Amino acid sequence: MRDASLVVVASRLPINDAAASEGVFEWRRTPGGLGEALHPVLINKPATWIGWAGTPGPTPPLIDVDGVHLVPVELSEEDFQDHYEGFANSTLWPLYHDAVEPAVHHRRWWEAYQRVNQRYADRAAEVAAPGAVVWVQDYHLQLVPAMLRELRPDLRIGFFLHVPFPPPELFMQLPRRAEILFGMLGADLIGFQRSHAVHNFHLLVTKVLCATADEHGISLGGRTVRTGAFPISIDTAEMEALASRDEVVRKAAELRADLGDPQRVILSVDRLDYTKGIEHRLKAYRELLADGRVKAPETVLVQVGIPGRERVEQFRQLRDRVEREVGRINGDFGRLGVAAVHYLSQVFDRTELAALYRAADVMAVTPLRDGMNLVAKEYVAARVDGCGALVLSEFAGAAAELTQAYLVNPHDVEGVKDTLIEALQADPAEPSPQLAAMRAHIREHDIQAWARSYLTALEAACAGR
Ligand code: G6P
């Protein structure tokens, strides 16, 4: 079965959770998810994707989706709890996001992390053709590069971390820090979203593993591993085309009418995650309403909260707190038939999302920490009319590129309030030079450019081996 020349290894297969059990196969395109990000790069390519089908237990037979061959890795209920919910999403996720919630450590979870990573590496070793490119994705699978190199030294192995890589003070808390660094160093090229992260990684391998790090990469045990920042992006042309459709423009007008034809619509689209700063933003909005600086229904906030990781305690609690706060705001500031915050905890399809972007005068993306945040880039791309204002957290990777946004420190409630007001005061029907500059940037730096630059760098990293 060793015939795949481009293999992506990711925690999940790019199909919807229920897909395998219901026999329906659709590419998983939830906003900000990894499947969504890689879709345009892989569709109709002779690529193989190794991952988990989204439900514990045996996987029914899979068929190719959008031309990509799917190879399942099975997770038992125990693997799911200890690897996905445990080590990946209760230890690494909070720690890599500035420990905005405390990281939880259990030795059992580490055992599961190793066991499950080994399973993905074994699968990749089985299917990859001689000399194939194997591209390992994200924090769930940081041990796979070294495990795979051990099994198949002929492969060209890339690793890309979609989330932030934390500063040494935080990473050093991990009981198995050296093993994780060694795991990543099995790759020929380690890609991060930002140069910050590259810097943190270099400091750590020097300190923990006594490796040598310079601008060419990292030297350890006679090998050189390249590193670099490759900020991920979106399929800009696809979003532009979608947002230009008559049906989307009509839908956007209908949405505004459904909201009571407000003068201003603020939109936020986040996974229900404590890293996204939803509570801080709602607090700022409540205060603006209380101070009379905004009034419903002239101004409304639409908060889309995409459900996810609901069995993980910290995520469940966040959802409860958000929903309580939305209820409180509407209780205090709404009227019969008039809501101050329209909260929707649903998954939207691409067309509805594009219509929401086009209906929003102000897009508020204010995570406390975020690897990139592709929703911010999607909003910019969707505004083919050149209008709209983006309020963006300084702590989102996207802020390094979308420098013309209304940048804000999400922890500074007064700053968030003032910035929202400033963005609301801009004329929503007037195309802005800021938006034009951001659009020009993401047109040039789209997802295809990202994949090209990463894969070319991987090629170069392997050339001298
Ligand atoms: C983040 C991660 C991705 C993941 C996404 C959805 O963006 O970096 O790897 O696809 O969250 O998370 P989930 O836990 O639902 O797969």
Nearest CA to ligand 1 atom 14: 309
Q: Could you tell me if 52 and 193 lie in one domain? A: yes
Calculate how far, in angstroms, residue 33's C-alpha sits from the geometric centre of ligand 1: 5
Average pLDDT of the chain is 95
pLDDT at 33: 80
Is 349 one of the catalytic residues?
no
The answer to whether ipTM exceeds 0.85 is yes
167 lines ligand 1 (CB under 6 A): no
- pLDDT over 80 (residue 465): no
Ligand 1: distance of its center to the CA of 434 in Å?
30
122 and 181 both lie in a single domain: yes
**Ligand 1 centroid vs 305 CA: distance in angstroms?**
14
pLDDT on residue 43: 86
For ligand 1, whether the C-beta of 33 sits within 6 Å is yes
Nearest to 278, CA basis, from 363, 362, 365, 377: 365
E-assigned strand segments in 221-292: 223-229, 264-271
And the tokens for 391? Answer: 């309020």
Residues 256 and 360: their CA atoms lie apart, in Å, by 9
Contacts of 325 (CB under 8 A, 6+ apart): 279, 282, 283, 286
| Start-to-end CA span in the chain (Å) | 26
Task: Identify the active-site residue in 270, 273, 361, 370.
Answer: 370
Ligand 1 centre distance from Cα of residue 80 (Å) = 14
Cβ of 12 closer than 6 Å to ligand 1, yes or no, is yes
Q: Let me know whether 270 and 124 are in one domain.
A: no
What's the CA gap between 307 and 345, in Å, rounded?
Answer: 6
Q: Residue 123 is inside which H or E element, if any?
A: helix 107-127
Number of domains in the chain: 2
pLDDT surpasses 70 at 48: yes
Q: Which residue CA neighbors atom 9 of ligand 1 most closely?
A: 34
Do 254 and 151 lie in one domain? The reply is no
DSSP 47: -
Q: What is the pTM of this model?
A: 0.96
Distance from residue 7's CA to the centre of ligand 1 (Å): 19
Model pLDDT for residues 128-141, shown as the tens digit of each residue: 999 999 999 999 99
Q: Is 32 in the pocket of ligand 1 (CB under 6 A)?
A: yes
Of the residues 39, 162, 441, 445, only one is catalytic, namely: 162
Q: Are residues 90 and 145 in the same domain?
A: yes
Helices of type H across 334-426: 350-359, 374-382, 413-425
Range of the domain at 195: 4-232+447-462
Together in a domain, 451 and 413:
no
Q: Kind and range of the H or E element at 170?
A: helix 168-171
249 and 225 inside one domain: no
Looking at the structure, do residues 105 and 251 belong to the same domain, yes or no?
no
Cβ–Cβ < 8 Å for 408, 391? yes
**Does residue 440 sit in the same domain as residue 452?**
no
Atom of ligand 1 nearest to the CA of 84: 14
Nearest residue (CA) to ligand 1, atom 1: 33
Indicate if ligand 1 lies below 6 Å from the C-beta of 162. Answer: yes
**Edge-to-edge strand list for the sheet holding 362-365:** 341-344, 299-306, 264-271, 362-365, 389-393, 406-408
How far, in Å, from the CA of 314 to the mean position of ligand 1?
16
What CATH number is attached to the domain comprising 352? Answer: 3.40.50.2000
- Kindly report, residue by residue over 113-170, the tens digit of the pLDDT: 999 999 999 999 999 999 999 999 999 999 999 999 999 999 999 999 999 999 999 9
Could you tell me if the CB of 31 is within 6 A of ligand 1?
A: no
**List of residues 6+ apart from 344 with CB closer than 8 A:** 302, 303, 304, 305
Report d(CA 382, CA 391) in Å as an integer: 15
Measured distance CA(10)–CA(4) in Å, rounded: 16
Atom index in ligand 1 nearest the CA of residue 309 equals 14
Substitution site in 8, 9, 12, 319 for ligand 1 pocket (most atoms within 8 Å of beta carbon): 12
Residues 215 and 267 in one domain: no
Per the CB < 8 A criterion, the answer to whether 136 and 159 are in contact is yes
271: CA distance to ligand 1 center in Å? 9
Residue 319 and residue 272 share a domain: yes
Tokens of 350: 């691409």
Distances in Å between the alpha carbon of 253 and those of 27, 341, 356? 28, 19, 10
Q: Is 17 in the pocket of ligand 1 (CB under 6 A)?
A: no
Ligand 1 atom closest to 140 (CA): 9
Give yes or no for residue 39 CB within 6 A of ligand 1.
no
Q: Among 9-23, 109-123, 228-242, which is the least confidently predicted range?
A: 9-23
Specify whether 202 is catalytic.
no
344 and 263 in one domain? yes
Residue 416 CA to residue 420 CA, distance in Å, equals 6
| Ligand 1 atom having least distance to the Cα of 30 | 6
Distance from residue 52's CA to the centre of ligand 1 (Å): 13
Model confidence over 333-362: pLDDT tens digits?
Answer: 999 999 999 999 998 999 999 999 999 999
Closest CA to 41 of 27, 30, 31, 51: 27
Higher per-residue pLDDT: 195 or 44: 195
pLDDT band at residue 45 under the 50/70/90 scheme: confident
Give the atom of ligand 1 at the shortest distance from the alpha carbon of 88.
Answer: 14
Q: Whose CA is nearest to atom 15 of ligand 1?
A: 308
Residue 238, amino acid? E
424-427: long-range contacts (C-beta < 8 A, 24 or more apart)?
424/264, 424/266, 424/294, 424/299, 424/361, 424/362, 424/389, 426/361, 426/389
Share of the chain above pLDDT 70, in %: 98
With a 6 A CB cut-off, is 300 part of the ligand 1 pocket? no
Mean pLDDT of all residues in 69-94: 97
pLDDT for 24 equals 60
Tell me: pLDDT of 20 over 60: no
Residue listed under structure tokens 């929202």? 420
